[in-house]
Chain A
Amino acid sequence: MSVDLLTYPDIDEINSLLAFAKKLGIECIGIPLEILDKAPNTITRHTRIIPRCILEITRGKLERRVYSNRKCLQAYKPTDTSSARRIPIYKKKSVILFDKSNIKFFDKSEAHLLAENDCIAEISLRDLLHSSRYTVNGINERIRYMRNMYKALSLASKYNVKVVFSSFAHTWWELWHRNSLICILTKLGLPSNFIKRSIHLAKTLALEAM
């Protein structure tokens, strides 16, 4: 069973994305609740859908404990360093989402905290596909994200952090096949048992959420 834990399709493109996911052999796909609520009747269920909820956490929000109470697989997205450090302590065994904007918070101490509190880091692959015309310090954003991801993943494998990968796809061509994911991760120098464990973990998370 192949799983994509998080996608973020436009309402018009949900059906094409789901149909294409089936073509790629993806059996479970995660879609945020806000999109599922907007288009409940138009969805033809080619694949099983996992309801997702992304909570952007700043320091203040975390302290006031503003969470969604609906049944779904929640992911906490830290927006600053302090919230990235506090989420693993306050919400143990949670899923923490890292993408282009916050992957830089995944450093040595964050990896140590994640491993200690048995948290799962969810890494978005969308930004590997999007090149930008604008360069930051002469480095393309895509290369920069790849480099940051490499650093984070090498720390994760060193500290034995649980990691899952999701496509965060907005359209069908941003989806990832399992083989492609394995090829990229192998090229990044990750050990095979780490890759296997991350794929297996995504499956178990999907089964728990459904």
Chain B
Amino acid sequence: MVNGYLYMLIAISIISISSFILSLILLTRLIHIKKALSLLSPRSFRKAIKAYEKRLVKRYIVFEIFDSGINIEELRSALIDSLSRELGILNLASCNIKLIWFSAKKRCGILRVKGPYACIPSVLSALSLVRDLNNRKVIIVPIKVSGTLKRARKYIGTR
């Protein structure tokens, strides 16, 4: 009889302790959720978006050039010249464009863009609009956008 009471007491104490711990965990979770919810308020959300927009990204654009016997030095100057005409000087400065690699044999090249994320679609559309390099008619087609140079080179290798 005494043993039964003892077991009951032990069980009740275990349940009460576990429920206390559980409530503590839930309370801490609730505090976290509240913090997270406060982050979703319009002001902080706008701040987070601004911070994201300000963050500089680096992307490698693989492009194909049609009908041209152009070499890399000629292309480097002519491409930047044409892109400045399409993008404007301010955009070109913020986009930080650099021709990294070009193969006249494969008619492919890699262009690095380092700037805010909004730069990438602008550069892609500007590349599509370029039809004139050093008075030579060309068509430039952006094929792929990659995050690393290795993957961009690998993509050209597999083509």
Q: How many angstroms between the C-alpha atoms of A190 and B115 in the bound complex?
A: 23
B-chain residues with CB within 8 Å of residue A139 when the two chains form the complex: none
Q: Is B146 in contact with chain A by the CB < 8 A criterion?
A: no
Tell me whether B109 is interfacial, beta carbon within 8 Å. Answer: no
A186 within 8 A of partner (CB): yes
Contacts of B131 in A (CB 8 A): 129, 173-174
- In the bound complex, what is the Cα–Cα distance between A200 and B125 (angstroms)? 21
| A129 and B130 alpha carbons, distance in the complex (Å) | 8
Q: Do most interface residues of chain B lie in helix, strand or loop, or is the interface mixed?
A: mixed
Q: With A172-B67, A187-B122 as given contacts, are A180 and B128 in contact (CB-CB < 8 Å)?
A: yes
Distance between Cα atoms of A75 and B110 in the complex (Å): 40
> How near does chain A come to B25, taking the closest CB pair, in angstroms?
43
- Least CB separation from B136: chain A residue: A173
Does B127 contact A177, Cβ atoms closer than 8 Å? no
Residue of B nearest to A188 (CB): B125
CB 8 Å contact bits of A166-200 with B (1 = contact, 0 = none): 00000111111101110110110000000000000
Please judge, given known A-B contacts A175-B139, A179-B143, A180-B142, whether A24 and B66 are in contact too, CB under 8 Å: yes
Please encode chain A, from 145 to 185, with 1 for each CB lying within 8 Å of some chain B CB and 0 for all others: 00000000000000000000000000111111101110110
**Contact count A vs B, C-beta below 8 Å:** 50
Question: Inside 8 A of A171's CB, which chain B residues have their CB?
Answer: 137
Question: In the complex, which of the residues A24, A184, A187 contacts B139, with contact meaning CB atoms closer than 8 Å?
Answer: A24
- Of A20, A128, A180, A187, the contact of B141 (CB 8 Å cutoff): A180
A23 adjacent to chain B (CB < 8 Å): yes
Would you give the shortest CB distance from B111 to chain A, in whole angstroms?
Answer: 13
Could you name 21 residue pairs across A and B whose Cβ atoms are closer than 8 Å? A20-B67, A24-B66, A24-B141, A128-B129, A129-B129, A171-B137, A172-B137, A173-B131, A173-B138, A176-B128, A177-B128, A177-B141, A179-B128, A180-B127, A180-B128, A183-B121, A184-B125, A184-B129, A187-B121, A187-B122, A187-B125
Task: List the interface of chain A (C-beta within 8 A of B).
Answer: 20, 23-24, 128-129, 171-177, 179-181, 183-184, 186-187
